[in-house]
Amino acid sequence: MAKVKVIIAGPRGRMGKEAVNLVTTTENYELAAVLDYKHGGKQLSDIEGFTGISVPVYEDIESCLTDVQANVLIDLTTPEVGMHHTRTALQHGVRPVVGTTGFTKEDLQELETICQEKQIGCIIAPNFAVGAVLMMKFSQMAAKYFGDVEILELHHDQKLDAPSGTAVKTAEMIAEVREKKQQGHPNEKETISGARGANMEGMHIHSVRLPGLIAHQQVMFGSEGQALTIRHDSYNRASFMSGVKLSVDTVMKIDTFVYGLENILE
């Protein structure tokens, strides 16, 4: 069977390093190139921490995709760059697996349209941890019975986007089943702006950023005399890699746009 040729964008990042390890240690995958805006023209093995991995490093996705034959692009960068990479990969017939978070609804819509036009697979997963996907699914189940919910997401302090993609996705999944309502007292007033967090369809989302954290989320439901808390913790970035592998394997078989790992878990 031919190997799946993979390009990784953001290889020096915390997620990118794990992805390089996944791709270079998986038998039927081949790392074809990496995208790193600081090391264009080098070999990956020239960069600290990647001894022995001799693949070309490109600064720019256009030249990378012109020079390198690849099947899949794994993007683990920043929202703006990730959007550019994903759009360009699709235009070149390369299937994106995107872990980068912070894409807007308009971004997702645009990418879905390109996938439909090109009839090519693309998977965007704000959270590759299987436990986090179950947390979202269990929260959606609970929201049928508990209409009052607050989402507390906690991440390391280098995270660029807030609220997290997972929190937004959780709120979207809850909104599909939850009876619409504005939570809290109708006359509640913030004496310090932002005290009640972000408001999404009447639910509140709170973002905590602290060094030492990785990725954690607590979905808290309350009703008369009872509370239910559903919590997931990722203690390291290796926790995301089984989801990345599942996404790479799946994206090779589909010709549609998928947003969320829950849509490919059996």
- Residues of the shown chain interacting with ligand NAP in the complex, contacts defined by CB under 6 A: 9-10, 12-16, 35-38, 76-78, 81, 99-102, 125-129, 158-159, 215, 240
Q: Between 9 and 135, name the residue whose CB sits nearer to ligand NAP.
A: 9
Q: What is the C-alpha separation between 8 and 253, in angstroms, rounded?
A: 19
Catalytic site residue 155?
yes
Residues 6+ apart with CB under 8 A from 59: 35, 36, 37, 39, 40, 41
Q: What is the C-alpha separation between 167 and 28, in angstroms, rounded?
A: 33
Q: Between 36 and 148, name the residue whose CB sits nearer to ligand NAP.
A: 36
**Tokens standing for residue 122:** 């693309």
Least Å distance, CB 234 to ligand NAP, is 7
Least Å distance, CB 142 to ligand NAP, is 22
Specify burial of residue 203 (Cβ count, 10 A radius: 0-12, 13-18, 19+).
Answer: buried
**Tokens standing for residue 24:** 């270079």
**Tokens standing for residue 127:** 């959270």
In the sheet that holds 95-98, the strands lie side by side as 57-58, 29-35, 4-9, 72-75, 95-98, 122-124, 257-259
Catalytic site residue 204?
no
Least Å distance, CB 122 to ligand NAP, is 14
Least Å distance, CB 36 to ligand NAP, is 5
Which member of 17, 92, 159, 245 is catalytic? 159
Q: Between 14 and 118, name the residue whose CB sits nearer to ligand NAP.
A: 14
Own/partner pairs for 231-237, CB < 8 Å, 24+ apart? 231/135, 232/129, 232/131, 232/132, 232/134, 232/135, 234/129, 234/131, 234/132, 237/14, 237/15, 237/17, 237/18
42, 57 contact by CB (below 8 A): yes
Q: Between 13 and 163, name the residue whose CB sits nearer to ligand NAP.
A: 13
**Using CB atoms, what's the residue nearest to ligand NAP?**
13
Least Å distance, CB 54 to ligand NAP, is 19
Which member of 155, 204, 206, 232 is catalytic? 155
Q: Between 134 and 177, name the residue whose CB sits nearer to ligand NAP.
A: 134
Active-site residues, by number, are: 155, 159
